[in-house]
């Protein structure tokens, strides 16, 4: 009686190696895009008593408000009117339910409140009533 050969040892591994390389490229590109969406020039205020966030929703829209009052999403500067238009479109894509659109405002610690209010007004006029604010739990060394 002949020893039965294992079927996976005889196959061509080229396709499997190709898929593995494609997955590696996908994950590298995804991490790079995610890093580019966060603007490091914004210095968040300190909130040592606030609750720490460990996991974020991938649908979250991070709105940056810079020290000079500029508003941006993923480092793309925009007016409050354009921000409102984008938020309305995103709400429409989520079956018109603003509860499905998590929004975080990342305001620079040195920005006057009037500029934060412009971003809040854009959210409010788009129908979003739940907004979170980003702050630092502890100072980075």
pLDDT in tens, 80-136: 999 999 999 988 887 778 888 889 999 998 899 999 999 999 999 999 988 998 888
Predicted local confidence at residue 25, as pLDDT: 82
Q: Please, how many CA atoms are within 13 Å of residue 53, restricted to the half-sphere of its CB?
A: 11
Domain co-membership, 75 together with 32: no
Predicted local confidence at residue 4, as pLDDT: 60
Domain co-membership, 83 together with 25: no
Note whether residue 101 is domain-resident.
Answer: yes
Predicted local confidence at residue 129, as pLDDT: 85
Note whether residue 45 is domain-resident.
Answer: no
Predicted local confidence at residue 66, as pLDDT: 92
Map residue 18 onto helix, strand or coil.
helix
Note whether residue 46 is domain-resident.
Answer: no
Domain co-membership, 66 together with 127: yes
Map residue 106 onto helix, strand or coil.
strand
Note whether residue 103 is domain-resident.
Answer: yes
Domain co-membership, 67 together with 122: yes
**The domain containing residue 28 runs over which residues?**
7-37
Domain co-membership, 65 together with 128: yes
Predicted local confidence at residue 78, as pLDDT: 93
Measured in degrees and rounded to the nearest 5, phi and psi for residue 102 equal -75, 135
Predicted local confidence at residue 141, as pLDDT: 47
pLDDT in tens, 27-75: 777 665 555 566 667 777 777 777 776 667 778 888 999 999 999 998 8
Domain co-membership, 31 together with 72: no
Predicted local confidence at residue 33, as pLDDT: 57
The Cβ of residue 131 has, within 10 Å, a number of other Cβ atoms equal to: 15
Tell me how many domains the chain contains: 2
Map residue 103 onto helix, strand or coil.
strand
Note whether residue 129 is domain-resident.
Answer: yes
On whether the pTM is more than 0.75, the answer is no
Domain co-membership, 74 together with 27: no
Q: Which residue has the higher pLDDT, 78 or 8?
A: 78
């Amino acid at each position: 009686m002949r020893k039965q050969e294992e079927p996976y040892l005889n196959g061509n591994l080229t396709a499997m190696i190709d898929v593995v390389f494609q997955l590696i490229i996908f994950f590298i590109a995804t991490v790079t895009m995610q890093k580019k969406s966060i603007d490091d020039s914004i210095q968040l205020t300190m909130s040592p008593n606030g609750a720490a966030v460990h996991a974020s929703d991938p649908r979250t829209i991070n709105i940056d408000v810079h020290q000079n009052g500029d508003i941006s999403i993923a480092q793309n500067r925009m007016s409050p009117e354009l921000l409102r238009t984008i938020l309305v479109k995103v709400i429409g894509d989520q079956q018109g339910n603003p509860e499905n659109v998590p929004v975080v405002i990342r305001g620079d610690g040195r920005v006057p409140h009037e500029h934060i209010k412009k971003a809040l007004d854009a959210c409010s006029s788009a129908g979003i009533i739940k907004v979170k604010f980003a702050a630092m739990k502890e100072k980075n060394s």
